[in-house]
Chains A and B, each alone.
Chain A
């Protein structure tokens, strides 16, 4: 057997093994989480080797508690998810627009202060969130933006933008300049180039940034707390979950039920959305 054939077989097997491995490492915790939303810890203690609930143990009490709206005494997670969705989508939209435009500028155009911009982007990430919290809180309070979803969006955009700029700039730099040049020669304006040429080419990076920002904001806790705590109707899912983590009140099964309710839709959304976005858009690229 020559080397090529050997490698083909080896890597095919390796690939299958890898896939199985990844599925276990990511799927098992998900299953576990679902199992724990039905099965109390004390019952787990009796038989740790099998975390899955017996058929007669399954009750939907936890889920009922989680999904019932606040007005009826439940935890109101549907409302929280709506808030999170609004907040996150708005942030992603703004970040993508500003990021693509800014990334284009930083990555392809020549202008003074280009180095300074790059430096600025990195500097922002050298500091942990809590330190930014106090002065940011004061600024938002003075501006009357607290508590409001608008204030939260502004803060989130400010937080997510540096990284997005960095990534998009990086990616856009690698697109050959000849494409832009040809379009310029044809009489297109810069904005047209960005919209009709750059964006389709940069789709994978844009999609990656969109997903990253979405997840980062969806799971964000500190700033959501600081900005929105005063209005329970504006709470996001992270604030809602934190409430369920109160050991004096809610048992762990309810916490797990809340987590399942939050996680499953997002995971399913990814299964659906990935098909469109990350699958390299081979058409619309540079054809030799």
Chain B
């Protein structure tokens, strides 16, 4: 909780509603899952980009509030948007109203589709929480809704050492791609790689904090990848985001997963 906003020499971001950089003492850090305009019954709220952005921000607000935080403590927002023009016209103002004068760092990406084809926007946050990490468990994983899905909506890291994994793809140690055109084979290799990297860093799958899964096709991933993921985490999931994008670094790669984890100090 001794946040420092970083303005570079070239502060174009200043009037764009975000900061070029924000640094904090990594005392208590909250990672949210990617949130959307999903409603309690699983459907996406009607009303297009403005309504979805409003609903998304309200849900994020509930996740922040559960952790005793608000939007002024957000240090990073990541936006996944299927229609950038619609978001600029109808979504940005809605979002700005929640942030007020607060300025997180920000990244906005145009993606091909989100978990539900009706979703137009998905937003995830990283926040710097108040309070002393001492005496708290390393990780506090929680939900603010009974969504019944395989992730937590918020994960707090209390005084841990954060581990940032490179995006993991289905390469084997000899450089060959495991399972060309084989979703299940690639999923198994990616999670095998993640497991190896976590172990080398001193962490277990349960200590994964945030996961971002980039796939070439969400339907294929659901059919073949979800079971592999479920077996890897054994019910102890991170906060997560699933996005469909047009390409990865090599055309053979169908999925890339990046993970942030934490171990005790």
> Do A and B belong to a common assembly?
no
